[in-house]
């Protein structure tokens, strides 16, 4: 695998980041370095490709965006760490299932660092602690490359999750690292999560570089 660029985007509106991921994936070539984007979003509900609006109970003043990932409805907001792996899966030799597992297991290992026993589930992507959801996963693969990714609840307001059926489940509870007595600072969690994720992808020895904190400028003008 080529070197991986790490891009720390800070707090961003959802749609510009989504469109930048699409554009990056559409324009990348055989030698384009993979990137991992870390960000958090201003409040938004997102609906996957085949998501049912029946699971959107009372969005109120929070925007709703229909997007092109898999999965049902979820919420993104400040205090939630978004991990977007923009990976050429064909070049890396990874499959989609392998990438999902790498995302999930990186959070399982991170939780273990804080003494929390977390696990993935075969019947529902994501990471859970005693059946309560800590992180959700939703990917899209285009031209052999991945975008979208994982949402890890670090210290996010959980009230908006009561306005939806999270991930399409009517009785699914949601939690955060902070509520579990772990770390609530996104920057610290990001730094601790990255080596776990790289290891799970088989990239522990791959060189990483910090790219600009801005969205990549992929088109002139």
Task: Give per-residue pLDDT as tens, 107-125.
Answer: 999 999 999 999 999 888 8
Under 8 Å between Cβ of 172 and 133 = yes
Supply the CATH classification number for the domain 4-210. Answer: 3.30.930.10
With a cut of 70, which residues of the chain have pLDDT below it?
A: 1-2, 212, 217-221
Let me know if 167 is a catalytic residue.
Answer: yes
The CA angle 51-70-37, to the nearest 5 degrees, is 125
Which pLDDT value is given to residue 221? Answer: 30
Under 8 Å between Cβ of 37 and 146 = no
Which pLDDT value is given to residue 97? Answer: 94
Catalytic residue among 86, 103, 116, 167: 167
Which pLDDT value is given to residue 99? Answer: 96
Under 8 Å between Cβ of 21 and 38 = no
The position carrying tokens 């969205």 is: 215
Which pLDDT value is given to residue 217? Answer: 63
Under 8 Å between Cβ of 86 and 37 = yes
Query: Rounded to an integer, what is the distance from CA 129 to the centroid of its chain?
Result: 18
Which pLDDT value is given to residue 213? Answer: 73
Cα–Cα dist 176/179, whole Å = 5
Under 8 Å between Cβ of 79 and 186 = yes
Which pLDDT value is given to residue 220? Answer: 36
Question: What residues does each domain of the chain span?
Answer: 4-210
Measured on CA atoms in the order 160, 177, 119, 39, is the torsion positive or negative?
Answer: positive
β-partners of residue 46 are: 65, 74
Which pLDDT value is given to residue 169? Answer: 73
* Tokens linked to 195: 């080596």
* Widest CA span in the chain: 50
Which pLDDT value is given to residue 171? Answer: 78
Which pLDDT value is given to residue 2? Answer: 66
Which pLDDT value is given to residue 219? Answer: 46
SS3 of the chain: helix, strand, coil, percent, to 5 = 30, 30, 40
């Amino acid at each position: 695998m080529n070197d991986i660029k790490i891009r720390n985007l800070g707090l961003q509106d959802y749609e510009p980041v989504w469109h930048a991921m699409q554009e990056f994936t559409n324009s990348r070539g055989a030698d384009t370095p993979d990137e991992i984007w870390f960000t958090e979003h201003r409040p938004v509900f997102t609906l996957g490709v085949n998501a049912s609006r029946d699971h959107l109970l009372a969005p109120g003043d929070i925007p709703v965006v229909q997007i092109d990932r898999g999965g049902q409805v979820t919420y993104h907001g400040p205090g939630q760490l978004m991990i977007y792996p923009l990976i050429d899966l064909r070049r890396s030799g990874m499959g989609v299932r392998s990438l999902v597992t790498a995302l999930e297991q990186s959070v399982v290992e991170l939780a273990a660092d804080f003494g929390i026993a977390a696990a993935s589930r075969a019947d529902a992507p994501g990471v859970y602690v005693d059946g309560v959801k800590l992180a959700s996963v939703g990917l899209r693969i285009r031209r052999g490359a991945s975008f979208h990714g994982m949402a890890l609840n670090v210290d996010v307001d959980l009230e908006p999750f009561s306005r939806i059926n999270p991930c399409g489940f009517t009785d699914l509870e949601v939690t955060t690292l902070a509520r579990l007595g772990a770390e609530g600072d996104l920057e610290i969690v990001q730094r601790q999560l990255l080596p776990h994720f790289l290891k799970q992808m088989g990239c522990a020895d791959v060189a990483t570089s910090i790219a600009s904190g801005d969205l990549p400028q992929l088109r002139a003008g």
